[in-house]
Amino acid sequence: MSDSSAAKTIEVLDTPDEHMTFMSSQWPEFAAFAWEKYLSEGRGAVVIDLKRATKAGARFQVPTYYLADGSERLRASGGWPSEEVAELIRNYDPRQDVAFIVLRLNGEQFHYNASDELTPPRAHKSRLSRARRRKK
């Protein structure tokens, strides 16, 4: 598949509704990841990088990473994209919510504060339990 046709198919993911659908479909993994990173690095956001997404067969591979407040990576990127995002990071409840930043194909950045019945600590505990069962 050429880069242009891959980009055209990835474009379908780059709407606010599709951002929410993607975050919801991956919530257990995102919530567990966010809690793990919060415990080790402090407050921050899960960054979903649609600009570097690829399509492999019928599936999309979307790079994600955690950007911690006060981290070298955040400083190198010039800080939070806006005061609104900085305020979100200062005020979200990591026991209930996950802060997301979506790097859009057009260079814009959207942010979300998401939550679900499955809280980040419970998602993390569940992931650890599954990992222990696999090791047995």
Look up the pTM and report it: 0.87
Cα dihedral 91, 120, 99, 33, rounded to 10, equals 130
pLDDT of residue 60: 83
Antiparallel, parallel or unpaired: β 109-115 and 44-49: unpaired
Which positions of the chain have pLDDT values less than 70? 1-8, 132-136
Q: Which residue has the tokens 């999309």?
A: 60
Query: Which phi and psi (to 5°) does residue 80 adopt?
Result: -65, 150
Residues in the chain: 136
Q: Nearest CA to 102 among 59, 68, 52, 40?
A: 52
| Cβ-Cβ contacts under 8 Å for 80 (sequence gap 6 or more) | 74, 86, 89
Query: What pLDDT, on the 0 to 100 scale, is given for residue 4?
Result: 41
pLDDT value at residue 1: 32
